[in-house]
């Protein structure tokens, strides 16, 4: 299964409820009778409790706007795997119906346009195929039998066709080249992008297909990208949001970066393509004036416009994601983000085609916003300490999925006029009722250059201000991803707090939602003001009487892992323990080991052998290991091809050779994250075992 599907499973996983055999009857759950009925042994978060949460995604409103379809995946720790289930709830809530209940994961659930069926993907038959069922979960039938299986689908509005995505083998492997050597185990590479994220290139490309659909069967498939050695959606994380129908069912729009090899790895220049079913012709809508990412185009309901997210600069993956709208009648293209210094994510149209709704982060919180195309004004709809992850209109209301540092994702209805919210889903109510969460405090801390920095401080449950607590500085990765109100299943602040730690999580320089100047300071200056921002945060909070300033730790992953490695050589005795996960250690070797070259070319300026880039490479943590003197734990996954595991191994070896107390936690089957339940629980156990040893003296 490709990464764009795998990631969607990750975003919505948790511990699997017992389902030993398929059941056709529906089960119901209300706030008083929740779906997730796990019983906890205490009111304090544990790794097992964290992996018990149901993780919600794939939220879709029914055509009659009366029901909500969504997916929640539950993990079985003993089986070490997850199982995705499909649920329905009325838009007013009160009732939750699990309409699948099988041992096979279901995903990519969609309402058929007439609302009489729900289509979804399942591997129950041995390969991933399209299935349908009635909205009460009965009459489940497989309706596709496509060789090799499919990875995503969407109904045409007129219900006469479907589109789907699947992989097509177009490149030769070693056995194709040398058929007389069937037992040979090798790769032959002549260009870049031979591996990406956590997979080596499998000689296949994800393509978009269109097929006939008669209400019960899928036939006559056509590859609309036939012969093209390009991926649509974009790898590794693009999903079905990047492939959409026009309202009249005559066109398909898709996102693609039609570059290969070295050119692909140097550029972020993806385009919006429109395929005409009648002529078989494909048009590039964004070829002119668009040099960066252009993604996820959606047609207006009246078919007169198409909107998408667009980044201005090629090679800059963290550029502002702007709202562009093209009018087919006038041929005019409009940038609606000229005066909006924020990102726009998940564009969705109002039924009258006069408004666009989306989510955007401002001051480390994701809210719902509304763009009125008639007056070209953008206004914020919701307020509060939370992150909205999606939004979709449903008549006079909006349906959104929301989370915070203190609550996993649930579904809410929102009044677009007032921003008033009502919780609709209660997948995790039972667990939430059993747990005591720590207080989350917002602080503005002065930085060394006289600016104000938003910093979250998370306190242990049952906090006693008369006591002293060991304290952790959390170093964010990305490097340009805000420390927002996310609910993480690895870097979970409530988990850290539950283990008796105060957590200091600053939105240091280089993070979005505080303006482009704040965001872009980090590029070319990894060890500059942003590192000083970290120290400003911990230095301010450690003055509190309840902070044990003699027992401070610093932890982080990716760029946060780099930050930990760098701080280990520059902390001037502040910290007593470090943990770095998937961090960059030797920036010169990292440059030649990573796969998306546009990233180091933008952030580091380019190759280390070019004279003008020497200053940034001098900030490499490996140059300062002679200053290391503090216990450090290093964690890395072997399938991390973004920051290869040799970076972590080198850092651990450097500590060992200097007799610095150190530990290396290595996961052979994990990538840049930790995704399997038993590995996730092991990660948490070893994480706190290390911190407790050095910070609870």
Which residues form the catalytic set? 558, 640, 672
Residue pair 601/616 in contact by the 8 Å Cβ criterion: no
Whose CA is closest to 686, among 648, 633, 631?
633
| DSSP result, 436-494 | PPPPEEEEEEE-TTS-EEEEEEE--TT--TTS-EEEEEEE--TTT----S---SSS-HH
Residue 693 backbone class (left: φ over 0; alpha: ψ -120 to 50; beta: rest): alpha
Q: What are the distances in angstroms from CA 580 to CA 260, 267, 636, 676?
A: 34, 29, 9, 20
The Cα diameter of the chain in Å comes to 76
For 147, counting Cβ atoms within 10 Å of its Cβ (0-12 exposed, 13-18 middle, 19+ buried), the class is exposed
> Would you call 249 exposed, middle or buried from its count of C-beta atoms within 10 A (0-12, 13-18, 19+)?
middle
Tokens of 368: 């719902």
CA 619 from chain center: how many Å? 29
Cβ burial of 626 (10 Å; 0-12, 13-18, 19+) is exposed
Q: Is 598 left (phi over 0), alpha (psi -120 to 50) or beta?
A: alpha
User: For the stretch 277-294, what's the b/e string if a residue is b when 16 or more beta carbons lie within 10 angstroms of its beta carbon?
Assistant: beeeeeeebbeeebbbbb
The structure tokens listed for 187 are 């790769």
Choose among 488, 590, 481, 473: nearest CA to 531.
473
Tokens linked to 286? 């964004």
- Residue bearing tokens 């060992």: 656
Residue 239's contacts (CB-CB under 8 Å, 6 or more residues apart) are 4, 5, 7, 8, 152, 233
DSSP 409-423: EEEEEE-TTT--EEE
Q: How far is CA 290 from CA 324, 448, 463, 487, 489, in A?
A: 11, 38, 52, 34, 36
Of 294, 318, 359, 341, give the one whose Cα is nearest residue 521.
318
Q: What are 102's two structure tokens?
A: 């099988």
Q: Tell me the C-alpha distance between 563 and 367, whole Å.
A: 29
What are all long-range contacts of 331-337, with beta carbons under 8 Å and residues at least 24 apart?
Answer: 333/289, 335/310, 336/371, 336/373, 336/376, 336/378
The residues that bridge with 349 in the sheet, in sequence order, are: 356
CA nearest neighbour of 391 among 406, 383, 380, 402: 402
Residues with Cβ within 8 Å of residue 522, at least 6 apart in sequence: 479, 480, 509, 510, 528, 530, 603
């Amino acid at each position: 299964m490709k990464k764009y599907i795998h990631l969607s499973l990750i975003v919505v996983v948790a511990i699997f409820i017992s389902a030993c055999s398929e059941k056709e009857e529906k089960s119901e759950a209300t706030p008083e009778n929740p779906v997730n009925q796990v019983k906890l042994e205490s009111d304090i978060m544990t790794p097992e409790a964290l992996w018990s949460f149901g993780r919600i995604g794939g939220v879709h409103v029914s055509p009659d706007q009366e029901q909500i379809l969504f997916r929640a995946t539950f993990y079985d720790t003993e089986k070490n795997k997850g199982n995705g289930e499909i649920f329905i709830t009325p838009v007013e809530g009160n009732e939750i119906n699990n309409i699948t209940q099988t041992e096979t994961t279901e995903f990519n659930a969609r309402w058929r346009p007439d609302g009489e069926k729900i289509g979804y993907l399942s591997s129950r038959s041995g390969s991933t195929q399209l299935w349908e069922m009635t909205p009460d979960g009965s009459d489940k039938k497989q309706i596709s039998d496509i060789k090799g299986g499919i990875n995503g689908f969407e109904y045409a509005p007129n219900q006469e066709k479907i589109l789907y995505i699947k992989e097509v083998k177009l490149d030769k492997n070693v056995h194709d080249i040398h058929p007389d050597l069937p037992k040979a185990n090798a790769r032959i590479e002549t260009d870049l992008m031979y591996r990406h994220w956590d997979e080596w290139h499998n000689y296949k490309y994800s393509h978009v297909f269109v097929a006939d659909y008669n209400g019960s069967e899928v036939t006559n498939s056509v590859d609309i990208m036939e012969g093209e050695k390009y991926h649509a959606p974009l790898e590794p994380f693009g999903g079905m949001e990047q492939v959409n129908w026009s309202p009249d069912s005559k066109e398909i729009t898709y996102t693609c970066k039609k570059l290969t090899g070295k050119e692909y790895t140097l550029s972020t220049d993806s385009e919006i393509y429109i395929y005409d079913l009648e002529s078989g012709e494909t048009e590039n809508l964004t070829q002119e004036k668009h040099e960066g990412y252009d993604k996820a185009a959606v047609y207006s309901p009246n078919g007169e416009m198409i909107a998408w997210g667009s980044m201005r600069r090629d090679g800059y993956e963290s550029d502002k994601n702007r709202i562009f709208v093209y009018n087919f009648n006038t041929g005019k293209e409009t940038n609606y983000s000229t005066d909006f210094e924020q990102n726009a994510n998940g564009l969705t149209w109002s039924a009258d085609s006069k408004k666009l709704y989306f989510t955007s982060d401002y001051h480390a919180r994701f809210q719902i916003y509304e763009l009125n195309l008639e007056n070209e004004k953008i206004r914020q709809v919701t307020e509060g300490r939370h992150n909205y992850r999606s939004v979709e209109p449903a008549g006079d209301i909006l349906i959104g999925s929301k989370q915070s540092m203190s609550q996993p994702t649930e579904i809410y209805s929102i009044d677009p006029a007032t921003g008033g919210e009502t919780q609709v889903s209660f997948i995790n109510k039972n667990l939430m009722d059993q747990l005591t969460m720590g207080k989350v405090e917002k602080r503005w801390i002065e930085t060394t250059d006289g600016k104000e920095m938003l910093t979250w401080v998370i306190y242990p449950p049952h906090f006693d201000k008369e006591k002293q607590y060991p304290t952790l500085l959390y170093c964010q990765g990305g490097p340009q991803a805000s420390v927002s109100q996310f609910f993480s299943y690895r870097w979970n602040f409530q988990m850290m707090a539950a283990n008796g730690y105060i957590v200091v999580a600053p939105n240091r320089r280089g993070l979005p939602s505080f303006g482009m100047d704040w965001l872009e300071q980090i590029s070319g200056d990894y060890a500059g003001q942003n590192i000083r921002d970290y120290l400003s945060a911990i230095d301010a909070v450690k003055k509190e009487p309840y902070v044990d300033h003699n027992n401070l730790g610093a932890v982080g992953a990716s760029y946060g892992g780099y930050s930990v490695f760098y701080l280990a050589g520059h902390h001037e005795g502040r910290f007593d323990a470090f943990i770095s996960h998937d961090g960059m250690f030797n920036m010169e070797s990292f440059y030649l080991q990573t796969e998306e070259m546009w990233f180091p070319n933008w952030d580091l300026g380019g190759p280390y052998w070019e004279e003008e880039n020497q200053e940034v490479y001098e900030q490499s943590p490996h140059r300062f290991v002679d200053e290391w003197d503090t216990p450090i734990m290093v964690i890395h996954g072997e399938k991390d091809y973004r920051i290869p595991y040799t970076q972590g191994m080198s850092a651990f070896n450097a500590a060992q050779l200097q007799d610095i107390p150190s530990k290396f936690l290595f996961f052979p089957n994990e990538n840049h994250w930790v995704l399997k339940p038993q590995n996730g629980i092991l990660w948490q156990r070893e994480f706190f075992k290390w911190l407790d040893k050095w910070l609870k003296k």
